């Protein structure tokens, strides 16, 4: 009986630790902070050689437009869509074409904000999709696809 109680207490301590870690590592994002970011998507038409649509993405922060890059496909804001933000993601945009694409996100990490780009793939009937592999975006790494 004492062994069962000890195991139950140990299990509760482990669960409490996991919950504490999750809130510490990925605190809820303040909606007021989310409202400081907006996206602009400029349709650049279809690339005549590749026959793929292209979109220029700009991120507006504090009233200033920052060019993020040119992406294949059509782009949309995660806010107001059926997509959900990833843990720590403050703002995000999805650029999608033919079953895959890129996600551009502003992430809160250890009290600082980071602009990152990740990969999206819808997957197949045999396996789920993929959304991840985020890397910091710099002025030299933004795509010109």
Task: Give the pLDDT confidence score for residue 63 in this predicted structure.
Answer: 87
Confidence label for 24 from pLDDT (cuts 50, 70 and 90): very low
Distance CA 4, CA 31 (A): 44
58-62, 78-82, 113-117, 131-135: lowest mean pLDDT where?
A: 131-135
The residue among 98, 36, 90 whose CA lies nearest residue 73 is 98
Sequence spans of domains, the chain:
31-136
**Residue closest to 117 by CA, chosen among 108, 126, 106:** 106
Average pLDDT, stretch 79-85? 91
| Percent of all residues in the chain with a pLDDT value above 70, rounded to a whole number | 72
Mean pLDDT taken over the chain: 80
Q: Is 140 a residue whose pLDDT tops 50?
A: no
User: What backbone phi and psi angles, to 5 degrees, belong to 82?
Assistant: -80, -10
pLDDT band at 89 (very low <50, low <70, confident <90, very high): very high
What pLDDT score was predicted for residue 17?
Answer: 46
């Amino acid at each position: 009986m004492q062994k069962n109680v000890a195991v139950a207490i140990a299990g509760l301590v482990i669960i409490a630790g996991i919950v504490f870690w999750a809130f510490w590592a990925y605190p809820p994002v303040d909606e007021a902070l989310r409202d400081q970011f907006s996206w602009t998507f400029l349709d650049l038409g279809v690339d005549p050689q590749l026959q793929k649509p292209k979109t220029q993405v700009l991120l507006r922060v504090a009233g200033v437009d920052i060019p993020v890059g040119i992406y294949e496909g059509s782009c949309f804001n995660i806010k107001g869509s059926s997509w959900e933000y990833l843990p720590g993601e403050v703002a995000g945009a999805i650029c999608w074409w033919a079953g895959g694409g890129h996600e551009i996100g502003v992430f809160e990490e250890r009290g600082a904000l980071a602009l990152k780009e990740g990969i999206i793939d819808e997957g197949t009937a045999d396996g789920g999709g993929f959304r991840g592999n985020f890397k910091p975006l710099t002025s030299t790494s933004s795509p010109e696809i």
